[in-house]
Structure 1
């Protein structure tokens, strides 16, 4: 089955694994024991929260995996900001199969919508500053592509998807290499063809990093006055990214220091699930 809404991820395999986890070897014994084999179910999937939607096409895949004949009407698009009570999808199909797929579909949709909703709150908090929100690799294991899809639906930009698509020299690399400049020189000499970003947590590391050829600076765990001074020292020579302990109540002040980006791990790591249900219609 095709899934054009996302690429770079085995969605069919993900759906199969999640369903197998829920169905076990015996399947949905409750539905099989209480509902006639040919019974039909028409239902509406609706949100009980105000949310930014992400994952509706994936949710539909779970129902189609068990009932290829299920009728699915998607009522809103991923990325839409909707009010509590909004109907997201109408479905009609074999009752047993739909109920067997229900929890897997809802778990995935609730998680991704929660990520998108939290992301939009952070994006809205820095609106007008010119600063861009980035996600991180702090994602649920096995769900990185999906989590980062959800942050895009919320309005963020993706940072590195994997370790092989960008050079990011962090504090442990610096410690082992013997210093910021030494680590950067080695990274440049490796000629990976990738942008080289380096983490600095002190102002006196900035000039050595720039002189050694850093393409971008990650300003780690700096308070607002220090960030402002770091941006002044950099003077627009390379993009800057603030990172570390960023919260919804602090991100605006951080963005207003003039940094190019702010990265936030909690949007993929700690977003609460949205309250979305499937109800008989």
Structure 2
């Protein structure tokens, strides 16, 4: 996984690029009608039900826009919220608050939706030993905050990107000439380049599971689009040789059944690519 310093850098890049995109050479609406020295306050109002996420990120945005802005927090990331709740107040320059408003709302609405969906999946697995993972099916440019939201919702992060873990999927295997060759070439590559990366290999059937098990050094086997019965057989076959992950056909109706097959992880792209933003607003007070 990426380091804390790398993750922090990603967050800073998201903020700087979003402000560049939204503000350009100035927020002329505010500059035109609000005095430069005007001071004000605003509240983050919840107009939905779910899990709030992005409070800490909002503080980063306000600090980036104006270090003199002060945030008074009432509800922390990961908390259950309902319609009418006030998450925080922000105090300071009225122009600065308005400059940050849209980015704060866009980010928090998206993050809260992801955290809420993740919490639903996590709760469905209560009592099992299976953990929920996200994927790389994220919105280009804002992966860091979407994966952060998954963590806030109680899930775990899969690899962050292509560079922090090896994942040999069907196309890699086919292009490499088969599973055994793909794994062997990968181990040689990692050794020659002094890379210490975990290796995940996708299996499409039980024969491929058996072939993967013939090679050492595989961290996790991804059971892609297996049905419940075949998943149970694969888990028994793999035993303690490496970790297991189910993916494909994962939704609220099937996730518990896959967990009960005994897999260590269940990954779902739906956590980040199929959510509806939580309704939030920033209102002057």
Q: TM > 0.5 between the two?
A: yes
Match of 2:38 in 1: 39
Cα displacement (A) at 1:70: 2.0
Equivalent-residue separation in structure 2 for 1:132 and 1:66 (angstroms):
37
Residue pairs, 1:186-265, within 5 angstroms: 186-190=185-189, 191=191, 192-213=195-216, 214-265=218-269
Matched residue, 1:171: 170
Give the match for residue 16 of structure 1: 16
- Correspondences of 1:115-194 after superposition (within 5 Å): 115-190=114-189, 191=191, 192-194=195-197
Task: Assess if the C-alpha contact under 8 Å between 1:6 and 1:149 holds in 2.
Answer: no
RMSD of aligned residue pairs (Cα, Å): 2.1
CA pair 226-113 structure 1, distance change in 2 beyond 3 A: same
Distance 1:193 1:35, change over 3 A: closer
Deviations 1:236-272 (A, max 9, x none): 3221100123112221111111111100112122222
Judge conservation of contact 1:9–1:145 (CA < 8 Å) in 2.
no
SS of equivalent residue, structure 1 residue 9: helix
Determine if the alignment matches structure 1 residue 89 to structure 2 residue 88.
yes
5+ residue gaps, structure 2: none
Q: What SS class does the counterpart of residue 132 from structure 2 fall into?
A: strand
- Provide, for residues 77-118 of structure 1, a one-character-per-residue CA deviation record: whole Å limited to 9, x for no partner: 222222332211111222222122211111111111111111
Q: Tell me, yes or no, if structure 1 residue 280 matches structure 2 residue 253.
A: no
Counterpart position of 2:52: 53
Partner of 1:66: 65
Quickly say closer, same or farther: Cα 1:101–1:193, change in 2 above 3 A.
closer
Q: Check conservation: 1:78, 1:153, Cα contact below 8 A.
A: yes
Shift of 1:5: 11
Instruction: List gaps (5 residues or longer) in structure 1.
Output: none
Contact 1:38/1:94 (<8 A) preserved: yes
- CA change 1:11–1:203 in 2 (3 A) is closer
Distance in 1, matches of 2:276 and 2:261, equals 29
TM-score (norm: length of structure 2): 0.89
Query: Please, what TM-score do these two structures have when normalized by structure 1?
Result: 0.91
The answer on whether the counterparts of 1:167 and 1:194 sit within 8 Å (CA) in structure 2 is yes
- The worse-fitting range, judged by mean Cα deviation, of 95-104 and 188-197 is 188-197
- Given that 1:5 and 1:57 are in contact with CA atoms closer than 8 Å, whether structure 2 keeps it comes out as no
Does the residue aligned with 1:103 lie in a helix, a strand or coil? helix
Distance 2:6 2:146 in 1: 11
Check conservation: 1:51, 1:84, Cα contact below 8 A: no
Question: C-alpha distance in 2, partners of 1:69/1:171?
Answer: 52
